[in-house]
Structure 1
């Protein structure tokens, strides 16, 4: 028996269930990109007929919901410590590491019509950290809005001064800036020339704008702590 035949028989003996379907879908999206994912392609990967998938996920939207929950489930649980800011920071950076492993996930999370169960669990847990840290329910409400997608480890950047995290993504322009553009937009050229990235960042240096993400995260957390200490309320 060849190795391929043995693998095929092992696959046949492994019962198909929802967890296996979602695990295969995540792996397929990681390997080929989310746009290449289809029920038919997934069935081929699992060596089953497409109709077999529908016993475990009703349609592709439910598949994407399940993939979202599978990815969010990889985020580390909150740690213990006296400083709520460090607890929040560590968990958000864990979420960011997860999304770097699955570059398609942020787009899928944003595409959902409503938060999935795992996302709701995660957000509820994060709100609990804020509340246990001494933030009022009123302040926590506004903190959650201010954080937005940063709670899940990603943000919408105004512009990118570095290359993509995805090695298969479009490359950033290289070489010296166009003198004509620098003359027309001198302040943007100045900012681009001054951009720096932290090689010792939590996730690692390079082209992911990690430094900027952590910079904004720390500013927000320090600001929230200042408001908490002032007894801030939205009625002011």
Structure 2
């Protein structure tokens, strides 16, 4: 049977105050992930950065997957929860724009969103999104469609930009001559990405509005 997610397991009780806390472990893991990405995260390297033994580390987290789940939830904790404004579109816009910004500050995070998304920070922001959509008149399958569509849109945008920022630069001259439309229209300047996201979000919400009963 698959182990329970880290949030559903009880923390071990220490006989005395440990020199290391789960919060400190996660903060250092986020720093390591920001510097080197998820592929370079190992429990051994994390313990070395914390100047701790592996035994001490494993007292707080059982596996690397625990660390990734906790780190991802920490990133979601950076997304501000706006005060409900009475305008569902404004509330959604504020949330998902902050969500995208957090993922762009931590480029490894977008690729991990397929992991269990039941941490307290994720759930609080998902609750806000659903509440905003409910206030906007969405319900039933329309509510689920809107919420999942927005989540996929913001995650896909962040992942696409993360990949684009990590490429090897422009293609060689003439490489796209056989694809004239892409050659003339496919290149995006760095400053275009935010505008495209904002325009796409407004268009997406326009489409979602037609789902309301």
- Tell me, yes or no, whether TM beats 0.5: yes
| Equivalent residue in structure 1 for 2:26, among 11, 22, 32 | 22
Q: How far 1:174 moved relative to its partner?
A: 5.2
Map of 1:215 onto structure 2: 199
**Alignment partner of 1:40 is 2:49:** no
- Once the two structures are TM-superposed, the CA of residue 121 in structure 1 deviates from its matched residue by 3.2
- State yes or no: 1:130 paired with 2:133: yes
Instruction: Determine if contact 2:157/2:197 at 8 Å carries over to the other structure.
Output: no
Q: Secondary structure at the match of 1:55?
A: helix
SS of residue in 2 equivalent to 1:220: helix
Give the root-mean-square deviation of aligned CA atoms.
2.8
Aligned to 1:164: 164
Note the C-alpha offset of 1:154.
2.3
| Superposed counterparts of 1:162-201, under 5 Å | 164-165=164-165, 169-173=166-170, 176-178=173-175, 181-182=176-177, 184-192=178-186
Gaps of 5+ in 1: 1-12, 198-205, 232-236
Greater C-alpha radius of gyration: 1
Which one has more relative contact order, counting CA pairs under 8 Å at least 6 apart? 2
**Conserved 8 A contact 1:163-1:171:** no
- Give, in whole Å, the separation in 1 of the partners of 2:52 and 2:88: 47
CA contact 2:110–2:158 (8 Å) conserved in 1: no
Q: TM-score, normalised by structure 1?
A: 0.72
CA shift, 1:97, in A, is 1.0
Deviation at 1:116, TM superposition (A): 2.8
Cα drift, residue 54 of structure 1: 0.8
Query: 1:183-217: per-residue Cα shift (whole Å, max 9, x none)?
Result: x222222322xx565xxxxxxxx268222222221
Deviation at 1:92, TM superposition (A): 0.6
The correspondence of residues 51-200 of structure 1 with structure 2, limited to 5 A, is 51-110=55-114, 112=115, 114-117=116-119, 118-150=121-153, 153-155=154-156, 164-165=164-165, 169-173=166-170, 176-178=173-175, 181-182=176-177, 184-192=178-186
